[in-house]
Structure formats: C-alpha cells, structure tokens
C-alpha cells in the first residue's frame, strides 16, 4: 500500500485566501517550565493556534456557499463523503488565470483512461503549486474551472473535486459563480491541495480527508491522503 500526502503544511501566516484570516501559531510551552507532582517533574511542548476554518488544505461545507436554512455545516456532513474512490485529471498545461473549459476537461479525462463514477472525488491538477507556490501571485493568478466545467462535474454525479489553489475557479466573478454552482448542484470542493503531480497517470485510488468536527463550521482543514492499494 502507498500513501500520498496531499496536504500542505500548516505554518504561521501560511499563504491563504485574502478573504479569510491567517493562521497564527505561537509557542505556548517549549519545555521551559518544569512542573512537579509528587516526586515527578516534567516539562512539555505545546502550541497555540488561531486559524480560519478555511486554513491550509481544507474542504468547504455547504453552509459556506449556500445561504439557505438547513445547508449542512462541516460537522453535519457524513464521514462517507470524505472516504471515496477518486481519480486525478492532468490540466497542468493550462495557462495561469485560465478558466478550464468542458472540452479541456473531456480531453483530460480521455487522456487519463478513466471514467468518472457517481460519488467520486475528482482531483484537478493544474500545476498551480509548481508555478506559484512561494510567489506573491499565489493567491491571485491561479487557473481554475469555468462555470460550465463545475456543472460538467456535477452532471457526472461527483461528490467533490479538489484543486491546488485557494479557489476552484479564477479570482473574482468566476470564483463566486463556481461556489454558487456547488450550492445549486449539491457538490463541494477542496482547496490548497499539494502533491497532485504524484497522482497523474496512476489511475483510480482511494481518497481520505476527514474534517475536524467544528460545530457549525463552514469548512475545515483536512489531512488529505491518496491511497494506492
Ligand atoms: Zn471554496
């Protein structure tokens, strides 16, 4: 069995979507204090972390983009949705800021030799981290899905899709449209994934990425993992 880690490191002030607060990590304890109980003295290390529920590699809950009463928060989404069969499409050749069309999705699917099955997770590798990670353009210049491509995925019955960027579609109106389409179509997406290049050409795999049980959460950081049996 091979496990591929698809999550980014959570670090102090890690790059994030400009609309969300940053990750702030401070040292709470660093073995500098000794505490004694009875005859035993110990020290410990611990961090204090403040973060958005959209920090680092994360999944959006329906309540994030769906204002209707009853839209599920992250603690209400079934765990089965985060333990799925999955494939990865290679769209790493598209230019930055490009909105990927249905024709391009179909071409990538054909090239993968795979099919999209109901409830699948579909990873969309766009070469975003290769080109923008560590660059100030990272939160702005990424490519993404055209609105029609979000609907194309929904038409195929997927559960969710994943991207490397902070948004599923290019910055601005297209991104708002993609989030709204997810609400309309009952699907969701993960953002800020890593290592998708390691999934290309590997066929079908098991995806696991459980969210934290944040009551009322609009999303959650996940430890996203691809498993090849
Ligand atoms: Zn989102």
- For the stretch 39-49, pLDDT in tens is 999 999 999 99
Distance from residue 30's CA to the centre of ligand 1 (Å): 35
Give the whole-angstrom CA distance, residue 229 versus residue 210.
19
User: For the residues 114-140, what does the mean pLDDT come to?
Assistant: 97
Domain formed by 58-228, architecture: 3-Layer(bba) Sandwich (3.50)
Model confidence at 11, pLDDT cuts 50, 70, 90, reads very high
Q: What is residue 209's three-state secondary structure?
A: coil
Distance from residue 185's CA to the centre of ligand 1 (Å): 14
Distance from residue 132's CA to the centre of ligand 1 (Å): 19
Distance from residue 38's CA to the centre of ligand 1 (Å): 51
Place of tokens 């910055």: 171
Distance from residue 190's CA to the centre of ligand 1 (Å): 7
The confidence score (pLDDT) of residue 103 equals 98
Give the whole-angstrom CA distance, residue 19 versus residue 132.
19
Distance from residue 189's CA to the centre of ligand 1 (Å): 6
Distance from residue 26's CA to the centre of ligand 1 (Å): 27
Picking from 184, 164, 191, the residue whose alpha carbon sits closest to that of residue 66 is 184
The confidence score (pLDDT) of residue 184 equals 95
Picking from 21, 45, 30, the residue whose alpha carbon sits closest to that of residue 218 is 21
Distance from residue 192's CA to the centre of ligand 1 (Å): 10
Distance from residue 72's CA to the centre of ligand 1 (Å): 15
Distance from residue 45's CA to the centre of ligand 1 (Å): 33
- Mention every residue, 6+ apart, whose C-beta is less than 8 A from residue 87: 112, 114, 116, 120, 122, 123, 203, 204, 205
Within 54-210, residue ranges assigned H as helices are 62-65, 102-112, 128-132, 147-155, 173-185
Place of tokens 């195929």: 156
Distance from residue 100's CA to the centre of ligand 1 (Å): 17
Give the whole-angstrom CA distance, residue 225 versus residue 3.
6
Distance from residue 196's CA to the centre of ligand 1 (Å): 18
* Cα dihedral 20/163/212/154 (nearest 10): 110
Distance from residue 1's CA to the centre of ligand 1 (Å): 31
The confidence score (pLDDT) of residue 98 equals 98
Distance from residue 53's CA to the centre of ligand 1 (Å): 11
Distance from residue 222's CA to the centre of ligand 1 (Å): 14
User: For the residues 203-228, what does the mean pLDDT come to?
Assistant: 98
What predicted TM-score, i.e. pTM, was given to this entire model? 0.94
- Domain locations in the chain as residue ranges: 58-228
148-164 tens-digit pLDDT: 999 999 999 999 999 99
Distance from residue 214's CA to the centre of ligand 1 (Å): 17
- Mention every residue, 6+ apart, whose C-beta is less than 8 A from residue 221: 10, 51, 53, 55, 56, 57, 58, 211, 212
Indicate the burial class of 80 (C-beta count within 10 angstroms; 0-12, 13-18, 19 or more): exposed
The confidence score (pLDDT) of residue 46 equals 96
């Amino acid at each position: 069995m091979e496990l591929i880690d698809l999550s980014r490191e959570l670090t102090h002030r890690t790059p994030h979507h400009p609309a969300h607060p940053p990750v702030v990590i401070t040292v709470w304890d660093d073995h500098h204090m000794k505490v004694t109980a009875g005859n035993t003295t110990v020290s410990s290390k611990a961090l204090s972390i403040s973060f958005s529920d959209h920090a680092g590699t994360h999944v959006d809950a329906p309540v994030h983009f769906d204002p209707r009463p009853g839209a599920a928060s992250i603690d209400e989404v079934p765990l089965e949705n985060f333990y799925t069969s999955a494939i990865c499409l290679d769209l790493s050749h598209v230019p930055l800021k490009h909105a990927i069309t249905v024709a391009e999705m179909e071409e990538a699917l054909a090239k993968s030799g795979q099919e999209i099955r109901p409830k699948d997770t579909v990873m969309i590798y766009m070469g975003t981290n290769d080109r923008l990670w560590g660059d100030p353009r990272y939160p702005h210049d990424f490519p993404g899905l055209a609105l029609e491509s979000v609907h194309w995925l929904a038409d195929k019955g997927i559960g969710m899709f994943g991207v490397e960027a902070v948004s599923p579609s290019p910055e601005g109106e297209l991104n708002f449209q993609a989030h709204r389409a997810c609400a309309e179509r009952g699907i969701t997406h993960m953002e800020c994934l890593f290592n998708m290049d390691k999934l290309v050409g590997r066929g079908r795999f098991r995806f696991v990425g459980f969210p934290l049980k944040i009551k009322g959460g609009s999303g959650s950081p996940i430890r996203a993992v691809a498993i090849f049996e």
